[in-house]
Amino acid sequence: MLTLPIINHQFISIIREANGQLKYEELPMNINQSLVNKICDYVNNENYTLLDLQNLVIQNGFIREYTSEYAHLFAYQDSYIDINKHVKINSLTEDEYYRSIPKYKSEKYLKQFNQTQKESFAKDVLRGLYAAAYRRVTRDIKIDSSIRLHSTESIGWDTFAWNITEDIDVLVKTNFCYGSASYLNVAIKYKDCLLTPLSDYITYYYARAESFIKCTRRYIPTRDNWKKLIMFVIQFSNMITSSRDDFIQSWLIDEFRSMISGLNDFCQNTDFYLKSIRPIKEEKYLKVYNVDAFSNYSSNITEEERGFNFVAEKLSGALLFVKNIFELALYNDELLSYIKEVVNINNTILPTLNSKIESVECEVNKLKDIYNKEKTQLDKIEKQKSYWDKKAELFLTKEERRKKENFDYKESLERFKVLFPKYKEVISLYQEQIKRYNSISAEYHGRSSFLSSLQKCQKRIIDANYSYNNLI
């Protein structure tokens, strides 16, 4: 079944400025919709063949060769899309078509074969049609000074910068069709300060600060999220342009209040939040990274430590937002007081954090010594095993040549072990040592990871105290 996306296929979403305010519009794509509908009908109707579909396209004068750098008909999270591929729409003769049909296959197989052929051909044709229409509309957009932003389809890394007003800049960064590396991010700057919705950091309590701090929002790269992104930009920009004071009060200050309230709640109700953390895959449109790096099922961290790490991560992560918008405090003294409060909240956990780091650091150093000893012993045994593995290989090679068709690998290997009991002893020692090594390795690296997480939080708090020392 061939289905088509809507955004960037039927229309391109834009932001238009009118009388100092931004509004959302959809610019229609100038495409032969009748032809598109017929192509889809032919593909979805099993009574039509590839020949029928070809004739339809040729009769409508489709340009048979094109190069497209756009993601049309691919999902944004697809991969291995060759943007430099020169697409040629081949047309088979009737004889060529019938010769291509597999012989002696079931009716079900032939139906699927026909469907696959039609879908592949139709996607190439439609991609060319949409790419041409997209170029026409974006060409007109470039010469329209009232249009501030539009949805895009570019494959690979791309950055689009728009100056919305004198004080507001919007940066949209995309990377489509690169699998898990694909992204759709927007950064809104007010007076060169990156704006980040502080309350989102609380609402998405399972999210790391890094999910929000480098841009205003990270969206899951899907076409449906273009409208969410654009409406978000409009909301932000219109709020700022309407009244700077109202913006600072209704967004920055209220956002800070919400964040501070949430931070205090994290400290008081840690168990509730830990139990409520849900898998990231359930998120519908925001792309976030899980704050909970340690499972409560892990043997390398206790439930109490997991709770403390969660609090330390969330509290110290809030300091990254403070750093981002500190300069905006110059416009409002109340904002400055909330910055102080965020720093002070972090200082309440600093003594416990320092003590925990000291304790875990001592533990990690001891584990490191044990780990190194077990690693040295494993290396020693591996050398012995390598020596005997080579001897066994030579023995088995001779056995194979001697017995030829009657050669039995397992039987010959067991005979080698009987002839050379030292080999069996070395294998036993190796198996025991690898178990000991894997056990201490997991514990050492697990506790080291926990220590690194705590030290990261500690550094954020120490750096904040240094940077904002004159405020506290």
73 and 184 belong to one structural domain: no
Instruction: Sort 227 into a burial class: Cβ within 10 Å, 0-12 / 13-18 / 19+.
Output: middle
Among 124-138, 256-270, 328-342, 450-464, the least confident range: 328-342
* pLDDT attached to residue 48: 86
pLDDT > 60? residue 360: yes
pLDDT > 50? residue 296: no
CA 11/CA 229 separation, integer angstroms: 16
Q: pLDDT tens, 187-206?
A: 988 888 888 878 788 877 77
Range 42-52 average pLDDT: 85
229 and 108 belong to one structural domain: no
Q: Write out the two tokens for 5.
A: 């996306």
339 and 375 belong to one structural domain: no
Q: Which amino acid is at 387?
A: Y
Total structural domains within the chain:
3
| Chosen domain end from 296, 328, 350 | 350
* pLDDT attached to residue 292: 63
Phi and psi at residue 8, in whole multiples of 5°? Answer: 70, 10
Range 342-371 average pLDDT: 95
CB 225 within 8 A of CB 282: no
394 domain residue, yes or no = yes
pLDDT > 90? residue 425: yes
**Domain containing residue 394:** 358-471
Handedness of CA 68, 71, 73, 74 (dihedral sign): positive
277 domain residue, yes or no = yes
* pLDDT attached to residue 30: 84
308 domain residue, yes or no = yes
342 and 381 belong to one structural domain: no
5 domain residue, yes or no = no
Residue whose C-alpha is closest to residue 213's, from 80, 322, 295, 308: 322
316 and 364 belong to one structural domain: no
Identify the top-confidence range among 111-125, 183-197, 274-288, 454-468: 454-468
302 and 221 belong to one structural domain: yes
3 domain residue, yes or no = no
1 domain residue, yes or no = no
200 domain residue, yes or no = yes
- Rounded to two decimals, what is the model's pTM? 0.72
Query: Between 143 and 326, whose confidence is greater?
Result: 143
Q: pLDDT tens, 68-99?
A: 788 888 889 998 876 655 555 666 777 777 77
Q: Which residues contact 296 (CB under 8 A, 6 or more apart)?
A: 274, 303, 306
CB 184 within 8 A of CB 220: yes
| Chosen domain end from 292, 317, 350 | 350
Range 285-308 average pLDDT: 71
384 and 327 belong to one structural domain: no
Q: Which amino acid is at 276?
A: S
CB 271 within 8 A of CB 292: no
Q: Write out the two tokens for 466.
A: 């240094």
2 domain residue, yes or no = no
Q: Containing H/E element for 67?
A: strand 65-67
The number of helices, as runs of H, and strands, as runs of E, in the chain is 14, 10
116 and 154 belong to one structural domain: no
Q: pLDDT tens, 299-326?
A: 678 888 888 888 899 899 989 888 777 7
Range 368-388 average pLDDT: 95
331 and 187 belong to one structural domain: yes
Instruction: Sort 397 into a burial class: Cβ within 10 Å, 0-12 / 13-18 / 19+.
Output: exposed
Got the DSSP string for 9-61?
TTEEEEEEEETTEEEEEEEEP---HHHHHHHHHHHH-TT--HHHHHHHHHHTT
* pLDDT attached to residue 87: 54
Q: Which residues contact 31 (CB under 8 A, 6 or more apart)?
A: 9, 10, 129, 130, 133
Which string of b and e fits 58-82 if b means at least 16 CB within 10 Å? Answer: eeeebeeebebebbbbbebbeeebe
Range 453-469 average pLDDT: 90
| Chosen domain end from 116, 142, 168 | 142
CB 66 within 8 A of CB 131: yes
92 and 136 belong to one structural domain: yes
Q: Which whole-number Å values give the CA distances from 126 to 36, 136, 181, in the listed order?
A: 7, 15, 26
416 and 335 belong to one structural domain: no
pLDDT > 50? residue 269: yes
Which string of b and e fits 242-279 if b means at least 16 CB within 10 Å? Answer: eeeeebbeebbbebbebbbebbeebeeebeebbeeeee
325 and 296 belong to one structural domain: yes
CA 181/CA 308 separation, integer angstroms: 31
Looking at every residue in the chain, the average pLDDT score rounds to: 84
Q: pLDDT tens, 200-230?
A: 888 777 777 777 778 888 899 999 999 999 9
Identify the three-state secondary structure at position 205: coil
